[in-house]
Amino acid sequence: MSTKAPSTVTGLHHVTAIAGDPQRNLDFYTGALGMRLVKRSVNQDAPDTYHLFYADAEGHAGSDLTFFPWPELPPGKRGVGLTNQVALAVPSGTLGWWSERLRAVGIQTGEPTTWFGEPVLPFTDPDGLGLALVETEDSREFAAWAESPVDPSRQIRGLHGVRLAQRDLAPTARFLVEGLGFTAAGEERGWHRFTVEDGGSGRALDIQVLPDAPRGEWGVGSVHHIAWRVPDGDAQRSVRALVGAAGGRPTEVIDRFWFQSVYFREPGGALFEVATDGPGFAVDESLDALGERLILPPWLEPRRAEIERGLPRLTSPVRT
């Protein structure tokens, strides 16, 4: 029997996916979904591509959905060992409105359903990324974006949960409990839910067991990694030690400037990160100007001219 770790993980910090065309990505997430571009930067490990961060108005940890646009990659393949679907929180009673809005911008939605008692509207973004809107009244950090084309009463509140597929549940379940402090929170229609900090919006991970399914492959429209949030560096170092004791192979702490990161793979192969809540996106630009210009971490500033020449120009989408 697994022993639950005394973890300080408080939920999802961000999810990073792979996009195709960066302008189409920007148009969809800010124009159609009404999220705010809170940071326009580059992949710090491959600065020839953007890293675009969409969130609530203030870029709260737990609201970030981020993208590496790599249009030269083939489409990703869903499968085991990969995060295959990302759920976003919306207020109760708004799924009907969202269904009409998505159809109006050319997005075909799946049939409305429920996940563990919550109303869900599944769909895919223009690159094929599996998404879902989930109605919830769970309390969470949220700042409405005044310039969003979506009314504040209907705006996306942040990340709600993620869904993975695995060939074998036990190794990942044990790792989640012993390394990250998750609790098994039930099973429904073949999905096994794990939560941190008493559950709630932004704290759930669901696993489907598919013993004979092929392995998922990174590509356009796939999730690159999911990040779990901790309050600060002390908490991060504690979780890093627990991850190592549970059999993970965590990296050293990496300075991402807006937060500190540690990366590792869970036993099934999905890439995880543990990221600190701060210092946050306002450390290098004011809240009212988030996302308006290309921001580079200090160590890339000497290469700014070269980096800017290699990036396609992005224009603000038409608000609808």
Task: Read off the pLDDT of residues 70-106 as tens digits, 9 standing for 90 and up.
Answer: 999 999 999 999 999 999 999 999 999 999 999 999 9
Place of tokens 């009463």: 153
DSSP letter, residue 251: P
Q: Residue 316 — very low, low, confident or very high, per pLDDT cuts 50/70/90?
A: confident
DSSP letter, residue 284: S
Structure-block tokens of residue 100: 């009409």
Task: Read off the pLDDT of residues 269-284 as tens digits, 9 standing for 90 and up.
Answer: 999 999 999 999 999 9
Structure-block tokens of residue 194: 């794990």
Q: What is the reported pLDDT for 320? A: 60
The answer to whether 34 and 148 are in contact (CB under 8 A) is yes
Q: What is the reported pLDDT for 4? A: 80
